[in-house]
A and B are shown apart, each in its own frame.
Chain A
Amino acid sequence: MNALTVLAADTPGEFGAPTPESLFVFEPIIPGVAWFTKPVLLAILSSVIVLGFCWAAFAKPKIVPRGVQNVAEYGYMFVRDQVARPFLGKDADRWMGLLLTMFFLVLVWNLMGVVPFIQFPVASHIAFPVVLAVTIYILKVYLGVKHQGAIGYFKNMMFPPGLPKPIYFLLAPIEFLSNMIIAPFTHAVRLFANMFAGHMLLAFFSMVGFWFLFEKLTPLGAPIGVLGVVMTIVFTGFEMFIQFLQAFLFAMLAAMYIGGALHAEH
């Protein structure tokens, strides 16, 4: 695979750090079908993986779990105990389907970033996290209106009890902006930005290693190349941690928004 040499071709003979254009803009896989690029293919693949994984694990559940079911039940317990129950309480089980799917899907999306030869975190294209965040946002507003009433929902959100009366009209805009605009925005951007930056870092370090050890091997450059390889390995480990963390946070915030819509803050 010679993709890295192509990326470096900015100034021939000189090291050039990978640019966002070279890392995140893809040619269509099938010529003429503009929307069908590598990230789209990976997103579809991720859905199939999550489907297959859950099917293999939960289609014929055993009382004593073995193999795939065991792994999947660890995931289930993690999402239930760390994501759903703290925010949804007794409603947790009803929302496990959504939260578990979302957690697994985002996790697989992110892990695509470190799978050899695939190496592209799907969520580093902002459209993908935006779709999930918008879904949760619509769900949040729908549930809020359904459970607290249209007026009650916005009243509970913008006028939380326990504040002195005159201050409300100063604070209500802050509450509104924070809950209705900034919250869904950061929900998507947090995942996107982490994956984007992580991918850039990994590409940069592996590029350094590749360039100074294979393209232009010189006595002075070799240690830098070795450093690049070491940093690539270290950051791959770190990146896997971040990928897991971001999947967890994404599901956790989803649970938090759903929980907030079901029950007014009191």
Chain B
Amino acid sequence: MSEEKKRRPEDDGQDFANAAWSIPSYLLSGMAIYGGAGWLLDRWLGTSALFPIGVVVGVALAVYLVYRKYGR
């Protein structure tokens, strides 16, 4: 969000709604993408630790994304 642009009162509500509806979706996506990548790697390499690691990394990345987009 560029701060120099004149903000209308409804922008805040809109940002809030956008954030509220996007956050669960981002968290889920993060888990799915990196958990899925970990799962595939597990199958390929015959390990079993990469799936949970991938899920955690995915959530962490999603939280970071949400924080950068909506947190400030």
Enumerate chain A interface residues (CB-CB to B < 8 A).
85-87, 89, 160, 162-163, 167, 170-171, 173-175, 177-179, 182-183, 186, 252-253, 256, 259-260, 265-266
Q: For chain A, what secondary structure do more than half of its interface residues adopt (helix, strand, loop), or is it mixed? A: helix
Q: For chain B, what secondary structure do more than half of its interface residues adopt (helix, strand, loop), or is it mixed? A: helix
If A178-B25, A182-B32 are given as contacts, then 5 extra A-B residue pairs at C-beta distance below 8 Å, sorted by A number, are A174-B30, A179-B25, A182-B25, A182-B28, A186-B25
**Contact residues on B (Cβ < 8 Å of other chain), bracket:** 20 to 34
Contact assessment for A86 and B10 in the assembled complex, using a CB-CB cutoff below 8 Å: yes
- Closest approach, in angstroms, between the C-beta of B39 and any C-beta of chain A? 15
Q: Report Cα–Cα, A256/B5, bound state, in Å.
A: 21
Contact assessment for B26 and A178 in the assembled complex, using a CB-CB cutoff below 8 Å: yes
Across-interface contacts of B64 in A (CB, < 8 A): 167, 171
Contact assessment for A174 and B62 in the assembled complex, using a CB-CB cutoff below 8 Å: yes
Enumerate chain B interface residues (CB-CB to A < 8 A).
1-2, 5, 8, 10, 13-14, 17-18, 21-22, 25-26, 28-30, 32-33, 58, 61-62, 64-65, 68-69
Contact assessment for A170 and B61 in the assembled complex, using a CB-CB cutoff below 8 Å: yes
Across-interface contacts of A252 in B (CB, < 8 A): 17
Q: Report Cα–Cα, A173/B65, bound state, in Å.
A: 12
Contact assessment for B14 and A253 in the assembled complex, using a CB-CB cutoff below 8 Å: no
Q: Report Cα–Cα, A240/B55, bound state, in Å.
A: 38
Contact assessment for A171 and B2 in the assembled complex, using a CB-CB cutoff below 8 Å: no
Q: Report Cα–Cα, A203/B65, bound state, in Å.
A: 43
Across-interface contacts of B58 in A (CB, < 8 A): 174
Q: Report Cα–Cα, A167/B64, bound state, in Å.
A: 10
**Most chain B CB neighbours (cut-off 10 Å) among A85, A182, A260, A265:** A182
Contact assessment for B18 and A177 in the assembled complex, using a CB-CB cutoff below 8 Å: no
Residue of A nearest to B2 (CB): A266
Contact assessment for A256 and B65 in the assembled complex, using a CB-CB cutoff below 8 Å: no
Q: Report Cα–Cα, A178/B24, bound state, in Å.
A: 9
Given A163-B68, A182-B25, residue A174 in contact with residue B17 (CB < 8 A): no
